[in-house]
Amino acid sequence: TCADRGAEVIFISGPVQSYPVHERIKVVKVNSAHEMYEHAKAQFATSEISIFSAAVSDYRPSTSHNKKLKKNGKALQIDLVENPDIALELGKLKSEKQINVGFALETDEEEQNALKKLDKKNFDLIVLNSLKDAGAGFSHETNKITMYSKSGSPKRFELKSKQEVANDIVDAIEDRIHA
């Protein structure tokens, strides 16, 4: 949607089923949260708008192995360490001229958690996805969102196609640019 409206897009993504193909989209493929963070950080200073839509895992195994671990009859313990919080770290570097947009998928205290994330990660807009709404979420072609900003009332949307949701989000970003 952003590229269709004339934006030059750098799409940083982990492994997915398909990648966008558009003359205004440069795809950067990564395999880890750390790689995603490094690429995002390298692009951030020159970005006008950053949309943090990746669902990066909060944790990763502390060690990795280059071969299969065979069963040995003993319990296996995996120690986890935190991945970098990409949106949080880049939010600390954000200038007044940049616009950061985030997403929150919440199941409890949805509005409060979205507002906390809006403030903590220095987002200008946050899009709340609720798993409580019928027809919304990952396994549907439709979604129902609420958008929050630091200034203004929440904007609630009806259930609609994910393409229409994307248009609503880009409309809100454009409104912010022209405000």
**Confidence at residue 36, expressed as pLDDT on a 0 to 100 scale:** 96
Q: How many C-beta atoms surround the C-beta of residue 166 within 10 A?
A: 14
Q: How far is CA 34 from the centre of its chain?
A: 15
User: Shortest CA distance to 2 belongs to which of 49, 39, 44?
Assistant: 49
pTM, full prediction: 0.89
What is d(CA 48, CA 77) in angstroms, rounded to the nearest whole number? 43
Beta bridge partners of 81: 60
b/e string for 138-149 if b means 16 or more Cβ within 10 A? Answer: eeeebbbbbbbb
Q: What is the 8-class DSSP label of residue 152?
A: S
pLDDT digit of tens for each residue in the chain (179 aa)?
899 999 999 999 999 999 999 999 999 999 999 999 999 999 999 999 999 998 888 999 999 888 998 999 999 899 999 999 999 999 999 999 999 999 998 888 999 999 999 999 999 999 998 777 777 777 788 889 999 998 878 999 999 999 999 999 999 999 999 87
Position 52: which residue type?
A: F
User: Shortest CA distance to 126 belongs to which of 44, 178, 50?
Assistant: 50
**Confidence at residue 2, expressed as pLDDT on a 0 to 100 scale:** 94
For residue 30, give every residue at least 6 positions away whose Cβ sits within 8 Å of its Cβ, in sequence order, or none: 12, 13, 14, 36, 39
